[in-house]
Each structure stands twice: as C-alpha cells, then as structure tokens.
Amino acid sequence: AQSVTQLDSQVPVFEEAPVELRCNYSSSVSVYLFWYVQYPNQGLQLLLKYLSGSTLVKGINGFEAEFNKSQTSFHLRKPSVHISDTAEYFCAVSVRGHDKIIFGKGTRLHILP
Amino acid sequence: DAGITQSPRHKVTETGTPVTLRCHQTENHRYMYWYRQDPGHGLRLIHYSYGVKDTDKGEVSDGYSVSRSKTEDFLLTLESATSSQTSVYFCAISARDRGQTGELFFGEGSRLTVL
C-alpha cells in the first residue's frame, strides 16, 4: 500500500526567503504525486501534480516540485515566500490505475516578517 | 467552484447517536471520497466510491459506513457516534473520469463535535 511522509510538521521562514517542504512516498509501483494547499479556514486546493514526463513540475503561486524516483521524494519549493503563503501544505500519492489518494500529515508554513 | 455541497456544515451531537453527513455534487463525476482531518494526522481517507453502489474502504473506515444510491450524492454515516469521531469531514470529487488524473476538488467541510 502507498504511504506519504511529510518530514516537517511546521516550517518557519522569513518573508522573501526560499523554502522547501519535504515529502517522501512509499510505493512499489508507479505513482502520481500531488501537493495541495489549505489556507486558514478553507478547504484544500491543488497546487501542482506530477503524472509523468518532466520531473520538475511548476504550479500556482510560484511553487514548483521535483520528482525524484531514486529517492522516492517530491519536495515542494518556492524561491521567495510571501506572507500570503501562510497555509498548511499536504503531499498526496495515488497509485497508477487505482482510485485511492492518500495524504501526508501536512506541513504548516509560517511566514515571519 | 467545483459544485460540491456538504451538509450539515456544523453539527454537535451526543455519544451513541447516529449521524449522517451528505455530500452533493453537480459535476456528474464517478469518483467521490470522504476524508477526515485532525490535527497531527492530516487528511485520512475513510471511504470512497467509484460509481453508484460501488464503494470501498479507506485508511480509517471502522465506525463509518457509506452509501451511493445516485451519482450526485455520497452519504457518510456514523452508526453510533463516539468522541473520537469529533473531526472535520471533507468530501471530495475526482475528475479522473474526464482525464484529469487524480486531481481532487474538495467541499468546504463539515465540522462534527461528539460530546
């Protein structure tokens, strides 16, 4: 069965500094990978996804993620964060051809002024 | 707006009472999901459906049942609510049947408190 590990429960970072949110997955077969964002008191929305092809995926709001099959990772990055990026970020995995989508425990991004 | 409506949005109930949460979609998608969100646990899949009357268990299905008698509605039932089921419940639909592999669209959530 697939699983997702988000290594950091909280990440503080100064405004305009770069940030990386880490995600590792476990699966013996090919997967699809996703990052979702949840702003305070809202539902979740898709930030970006990796299905196949280029391992560097660009998403909304300047975020990008890189799929690394050998390290089974899908880390999320942004070169310069803004106060509006304050949110909780969830990594998710789905096995190709299957319907289950499993989420990690989330990482809270705190932007410091 | 993905056309997903959850009801009720807020509910307080007592231990041992049955509770049903409803998810209604206007998108005619096959795939629907119920997740619960708890601090420190992220989102955990309870049950999902891949068509009318076709459902399967997720990670934390004990104490929950679901029904899908028509495409647009996916019901989550707690037969006898317990305090451990106090949570925020999210319904989601997938556009997988239209080529948008894996992308989920979430409802606004239903906050359930079991006293």
Q: Do B108 and A44 touch (CB under 8 A)?
A: no
pLDDT band at A41 (very low <50, low <70, confident <90, very high): confident
Does the beta-carbon distance from B45 to A103 stay under 8 Å?
yes
CB-CB: which of B40, B58, B106 is closest to A43? Answer: B106
pLDDT-based confidence at B97, cuts 50/70/90? Answer: low
B91, closest residue in chain A (CA to CA):
A43
Gap between the Cα atoms of A1 and B62, Å rounded: 18
pLDDT the model gives residue A107: 97
DSSP for residue A16: T
Q: pLDDT at residue A25 above 80? A: yes
Nearest 10 degrees: CA dihedral of B1, B5, B11, B16? -140
Tell me which chain B residue has its CA closest to the CA of residue A44.
B106
Q: Tell me whether A45 touches chain B (CB under 8 Å).
A: yes
Return contacts of A46-55, CB within 8 angstroms, 24+ apart. A46/B103, A46/B104, A47/A76, A47/A89, A48/A76, A49/B101, A49/B102, A49/B103, A50/A74, A51/B101, A51/B102
Alpha-carbon torsion A92, A106, A81, B91, what sign? positive
Give the dihedral sign, CA A83/A33/B25/B40.
negative
Lowest mean pLDDT of A17-31, A55-69, A95-109, B8-22, name the range. A95-109
